[in-house]
C-alpha cells in the first residue's frame, strides 16, 4: 500500500512542476500567451491556468505545446532520460541568438541556430576546428577572412575555423542555420573588437 501511495505522490509532484516548467520555457523563448494560443489552438485562459497550476495538465494540451516548442513531451513533464536515444533539445541564448544542440557533448557537434533579424556588430574569431554551415531559412551573412558573403536558403559553406570568421544577420530578417563543427582543440583568439574584451559566448565556436 505504501508503494502505491509513494507512486501517486510522485505523479502528483511531477504534475505540480509542469506549470512552472511551461512558464519558464515560454519566457525563455520570448513567446507571449497570445501567440502561443494562436500556435496551439489552446485558449489563452487555459494556458494561463496551466502555468499557474490552476489546471492539471493533460495529453490533450501537452501534445500541442510540445509540438509548438519543438521539445519531447518528456521534457514538459520531467520524465527521466533512461535508455532513450533521442537528444533532449535544451535551447539557450548565446549573444542574442537561440542555439539548440542536436548532438550530445563530445566529438562532432551539431546545432540549429536561430539568428534574429537585428544586426549585431561582427566580431570575427579564430580557433581550432572545422565548420560546415547550411541555411535552413532566411539569409545569413558570413565574414570569412577578407570575404563578406550572404548565403540564402539551401546554400552551404565549409571552412577552417583558424581563419577569422563570423556569421549573423543580414539585417533583412531572421534566419535559421544548421551548424556542424569538429573541434580538435579549445584554443580561441579574438581577432577584432572594441577596446574592451567582448563577452564570451557559451561555446567558443559560436560567434
Backbone angles phi, psi at 61, to 5 degrees: -100, -30
Residue 183's pLDDT is what? 67
Pull the grid cell for residue 127: 580557433
Residue 14's pLDDT is what? 67
Ranking 26-30, 126-130, 158-162, 182-186 by mean pLDDT, the lowest is 182-186
Pull the grid cell for residue 91: 535551447
- Which pLDDT band holds residue 163 (cuts at 50, 70, 90)? very high
SS3 assignment for 61-82: HHHHHHHHHCCCHHHHHCCCCC
- pLDDT tens, residue by residue, 28-80: 888 899 999 998 899 999 999 989 988 888 878 888 888 888 877 767 776 55
Asked if residue 127 lies in contact with residue 187, where contact means CB atoms within 8 angstroms, the answer is: yes
200, β-bridge pairs: none
Q: How many CB atoms lie within 10 A of CB 1?
A: 5
- pLDDT tens, residue by residue, 122-136: 889 998 888 999 999
Task: For residues 74 and 85, give the distance between their C-alpha atoms in angstroms, rounded to a whole number.
Answer: 13
Pull the grid cell for residue 12: 502528483
Pull the grid cell for residue 36: 502561443
CA angle, corner 87, sides to 53 and 187, nearest 5? 115
Backbone angles phi, psi at 170, to 5 degrees: -85, -10
Residue 158's pLDDT is what? 92
- Which pLDDT band holds residue 170 (cuts at 50, 70, 90)? very high
Which structural domains are found in the chain, ordered by start? 2-77 (1.10.260.40), 92-190 (2.60.120.10)
Global pTM reads: 0.51
**pLDDT > 90? residue 192:** no
**pLDDT > 60? residue 190:** no
Can you tell me whether residue 97 is helix, strand or coil? strand
Q: Among candidates 166, 173, 90, 175, which has minimal Cα distance to 131?
A: 166
Amino acid at each position: 500500500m505504501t508503494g502505491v501511495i509513494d507512486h501517486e505522490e510522485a505523479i502528483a509532484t511531477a504534475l505540480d512542476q509542469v506549470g512552472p516548467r511551461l512558464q519558464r520555457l515560454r519566457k525563455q523563448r520570448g513567446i507571449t500567451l497570445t501567440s502561443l494560443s494562436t500556435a496551439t489552438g489552446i485558449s489563452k485562459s487555459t494556458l494561463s491556468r496551466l502555468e499557474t497550476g490552476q489546471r492539471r495538465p493533460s495529453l490533450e494540451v501537452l501534445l500541442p505545446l510540445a509540438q509548438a516548442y519543438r521539445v519531447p513531451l518528456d521534457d514538459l513533464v520531467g520524465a527521466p532520460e533512461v535508455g532513450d536515444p533521442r537528444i533532449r533539445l535544451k535551447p539557450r541564448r548565446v549573444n542574442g541568438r537561440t542555439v539548440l544542440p542536436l548532438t550530445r557533448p563530445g566529438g562532432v557537434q551539431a546545432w540549429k541556430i536561430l539568428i534574429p533579424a537585428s544586426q549585431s556588430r561582427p566580431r570575427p574569431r579564430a580557433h581550432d576546428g572545422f565548420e560546415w554551415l547550411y541555411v535552413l531559412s532566411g539569409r545569413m551573412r558570413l565574414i570569412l577572412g577578407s570575404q563578406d558573403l550572404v548565403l540564402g536558403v539551401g546554400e552551404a559553406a565549409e571552412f577552417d575555423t583558424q581563419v577569422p570568421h563570423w556569421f549573423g544577420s543580414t539585417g533583412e530578417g531572421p534566419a535559421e542555420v544548421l551548424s556542424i563543427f569538429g573541434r580538435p582543440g579549445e584554443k580561441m583568439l579574438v581577432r577584432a573588437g572594441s577596446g574592451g574584451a567582448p563577452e564570451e559566448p557559451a561555446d567558443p565556436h559560436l560567434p
